[in-house]
Amino acid sequence: MIRFLTAGESHGKELTVIIEGFPSNVPLVKSEIDPELERRQSGYGRGLRMKIEKDNVELTAGVRYGKTLGSPVAMRIINKDFENWTEVMSAAPLKSKSQKVTIPRPGHADLTGTQKYNYDDIRNSIERSSARETAARVAAGAAAKSLLRQFGISVGSFVESIGGIYPGESALKNLLNLYDPEIMGIDQLSRIADNSEVRVLDEKQEQKIIRKIKAAKKNGDTLGGTVIIAANGVPPGLGSFAQYDRRIDAALSAAMMSVHAIKGVEIGAGFDAADKFGSEVHDEIIFEKNNFSRKTNRAGGIEGGITNGLPVIIRAAMKPIATLMQPIESVDLKTMSTVDARRERSDFTAVPACAVICEAMTAWVMADFMIQKFGGDSLEEMKDNYDTYLKKLVPRVKKNFR
């Protein structure tokens, strides 16, 4: 129902994002988008680019007096670094072209992109495949979060591990095994994580991780990790088992997998559930305070491709950054001979940023499925549909089974 498109290269003039299909009257202000962009730039182990950029958004269309108009919303994020790349990234033809990049980095789109698009300079692949693009996605995600907030839905995240270093006590297990609104939900956990240099919840773990990042930097190596994203306040009924692509867990998994360097996605107990008995996995159904709930949340808030009203919980695995400062082998496309892979300025780890980016993508999918179910050209119309649905949800079940 809604789409966003991004455009722009890592060292080009700017990033552009266009959102299509948003209802009118959704609050959207720069002061709520920029803090998300700042969160994305944070994290110990980020590269020098983060000292150059102070990402902030300019709302250029589809918004008036702080509210969406129902027409396409456009935003732009300037690349300050472009002033150092005006020749290399010139849109206009130049008499003398810059030095071509001919040695692909393993683990990025350097060789696959060059083969696919028949480039004669790997720089053409590096620029758009760069994780710089995620700044635009976070801006779109901020718009989605604003829409979700109107319905009491929030999305948060924390880093579970970096470089194989996990916390003493698993916050994920708490989120999955005991669904109890009293235990710390993702909103509090996300706020705690925002105060950590690597967005983890455990101070001892944070220190161990920072030491490991320092060691990686010293060895010219990089690190990946795992992130936990959750959405709170999601109503039952989003998504459907009717078709493969209407299952909301399928859409969420695709959205996570679309984030740079993500190589694994789990919903709820995920792979851990594969090793357990059904009696250890399935969430027993309870009816309390005139509402359905579950005793646990190992399904991660989704059953049969449909949200069940519990927090939606996602875990994603990010591989280490592809640009290594220590040499690993590659091939020079000019000579086809074996050479050391190219090195260029890069992050040593970007797992904290990845958690924020996965939040944005989760918010986007949630907003899309909310609009699919409750529609409405305006926020008010959408809210009317939503309120009617919620009000009648339990009475309808009671009436049908009387």
Do 318 and 261 contact (CB within 8 A), yes or no? yes
Nearer to ligand EPS, 10 or 24 (CB): 10
Q: Residues touching ligand EPS: how many (CB under 6 A)?
A: 17
Q: Which of residues 224-263 bind ligand EPS (CB under 6 A)?
A: 260
360 is a site residue for ligand EPS (CB under 6 A):
no
**Close Cβ partners of 340 (under 8 Å, ≥ 6 residues apart):** 103, 327, 328, 329, 330
Closer Cβ to ligand EPS, 135 or 365, answer by number: 135
Query: Inter-axis angle of helices 248-257 and 351-374, to 10 degrees?
Result: 150
Q: Which two tokens stand for residue 366?
A: 């949630």
Examine residue 189 and tell whether it contacts ligand EPS (CB under 6 A).
no
**Shorter beta-carbon distance to ligand EPS: residue 10 or 125:** 10
Considering the complex, what minimum distance in angstroms separates the CB of residue 213 from ligand EPS?
A: 14
In the numeric block, which tokens belong to residue 220?
């010219």
Interface with ligand EPS includes 349 (CB under 6 A)?
no
* Min separation Cβ 92 and ligand EPS, Å: 22
CB 181 within 8 Å of CB 254: no
Nearer to ligand EPS, 186 or 351 (CB): 351
If the CB atoms of residues 123 and 294 are measured against ligand EPS, the closer one turns out to be 123
Residues between 372 and 401 that touch ligand EPS (CB under 6 A): none
Task: Name the token pair of 307.
Answer: 């949200």
Residue placing its CB nearer to ligand EPS in the complex, 137 or 294: 137
Q: Which of 221, 347, 359, 368 binds ligand EPS (CB under 6 A)?
A: 347
Per CB under 6 A, does 321 bind ligand EPS? yes
- Indicate the DSSP class of residue 70: S
Site for ligand EPS in 43-62 (CB under 6 A): 47, 49
Q: Does 6 bind ligand EPS (CB under 6 A)?
A: no
Q: Give every CB contact of residue 39 below 8 A, 6+ residues apart in sequence.
A: 138, 194, 356
- Sign (positive or negative) of CA dihedral 315, 271, 369, 22: positive
- Cβ within 8 Å of residue 117, ≥6 positions away: 124, 125
Tell which one of 131, 223, 273, 382 touches ligand EPS (CB under 6 A).
131
Residue 323 in the binding site for ligand EPS (CB under 6 A): yes
Among 25, 68, 125, 130, binds ligand EPS (CB under 6 A): 130
**Nearest CB to ligand EPS, comparing residues 39 and 294:** 39
Residues in 81-100 that interact with ligand EPS by CB under 6 A: 81
Q: State the Cα–Cα distance between residues 35 and 38, nearest whole angstrom.
A: 5
Q: Is 346 in the site for ligand EPS (CB under 6 A)?
A: yes
Residue 362 binding ligand EPS, by CB under 6 A: no
What are the DSSP calls for 150-218, one per residue? TTT-EEEEEEEEETTB--SS-HHHHHHH---TTS--HHHHHHHHHTSTT--S-HHHHHHHHHHHHHHHH
Q: Is 135 in the site for ligand EPS (CB under 6 A)?
A: yes
- The sign one gets for the Cα dihedral 358, 362, 365, 371 is negative
Query: Which CB sits closer to ligand EPS, 15 or 229?
Result: 15
| Cβ nearer to ligand EPS, comparing 180 with 344 | 344
Spatial separation of the C-alpha atoms in residues 21 and 350, rounded to whole Å: 31
Residue with tokens 């190589």: 263
Chain residues in the site for ligand EPS (CB under 6 A): 10, 47, 49, 81, 108, 130-132, 134-135, 260, 321-323, 345-347
